Amino acid sequence: MPRQMAPGVTEGYLKVAPTVVRDGDTATIDATGIYYRQLNEAIRGAIAEGATRVVLNNVNGQRYIGTGVKAKGVTIEVHGTAGNDMAMFMDGPTIEVFGAAQDGVGNTMNAGKVIVHGDAGDVLGYGMRGGAVYVKGDVGYRVGIHMKAYESLIPIMVCGGNARDFFGEYMAGGILVLLGMNTQFAEQPLVGSFVGAGMHGGVIYLRGTVESWQCGKEVGITEATEEDMAALKPTLADYCDAQGMDLAEVLSVPFTKLAPFSHRPYGKMYAPM
């Protein structure tokens, strides 16, 4: 039976415009009880009116924060737990979450940066085309699925904890890194099964080791070389700066590199052109 709600209320959220407090270039919004559509309208309105810093307080699972925003030099601070599809289609801003995030962070993201100072959920970076996502803690299933790169656009995702199954599934490009350092599940493996399943582009770096049975048959497993680590070091340095971590500690353990054997693993399954 449908839940009975008061007029203007949806599942505990109010369909009213939140109060926006302006102080110079900063706009502060209290998200308490505010429906996600009204919250996102307020965010976009504040940016359109010239705010370069938008502070969201008391966020409690509201979805689509930063979705579709095209604005360089803008920072969105999220205090609380961000809902699904944060930064979807985002092109330029920086979103910093002082808490955790749910599923779909960076879905089809084009440019910008997302910094999550807690854990995050499943399907991060789905179809991600550019920019960077830095998660401090653990992540869920199918992280990095369908990440892709085009010309100078190379998406980057660094996860500081452990990951579940299908990490890097169907990757077509980009850089995906898993550190296993800031985890709640130290007794569990760094990553689950089917790592890189269907992968045909990009590269995965794991701080530590992985067994061949955990990986998709499409990927080759090697120890990261000095050249690999030299190329990866600027990304790790940027991540450490964002997350307040020590780069030397991150680099104190050897990394494993996973890359696809073929850029067209299913070519024989299709009729020749």
Q: Encode pLDDT of 182-222 as tens digits.
A: 999 999 999 999 999 999 999 999 999 999 999 999 999 99
Q: How far apart are CA 7 and CA 156, in angstroms?
A: 44
**Do 142 and 233 reside in the same domain of the chain?**
yes
Residue with tokens 């070091």: 233
Q: Is the dihedral of CA 181, 202, 90, 151 positive or negative?
A: positive
Q: What percent of the chain has pLDDT over 70?
A: 92
Q: What is the overall mean pLDDT for the chain? A: 93
Residue ending a domain, choose from 99, 131, 147: 99
Do 94 and 188 fall into the same domain? no
Q: Give the confidence band of 122 by pLDDT, cuts at 50, 70, 90.
A: very high
pLDDT of residue 73: 95
Above 60 in pLDDT, residue 271? no
Question: Residues 80-108: pLDDT tens digits?
Answer: 999 999 999 999 999 999 999 999 999 99
Tell me what pLDDT residue 7 has. Answer: 47
Query: Mean pLDDT across the stretch 246-261?
Result: 97
Res 19 pLDDT > 60:
yes
Tell whether 18 and 151 lie within a shared domain. Answer: no
Give the H/E segment covering residue 79: strand 75-81
Residues 44 and 163 placed together within one structural domain of the fold? no
6 bridge partner residues = none
How far apart are the C-alpha atoms of 84 and 86, rounded to whole Å? 6
User: Residues 234-238: what's their mean pLDDT?
Assistant: 98
Note whether 157 and 191 are same-domain residues: yes
69-107: b or e for each residue (b if 16 or more CB lie within 10 Å)? bebeebbbbbebbbbbbbbbbbbbbbbbbeebbbbbbbb
> What span, in angstroms and rounded, lies between the C-alpha atoms of 205 and 182?
16
Domain ranges, residue 49: 1-99
Model confidence, pTM = 0.92
> Which domain-ending residue is among 68, 99, 130?
99
> Quick check: helix, strand or coil at residue 46?
helix
Mean pLDDT on 143-148: 97
Report pLDDT for 206.
98
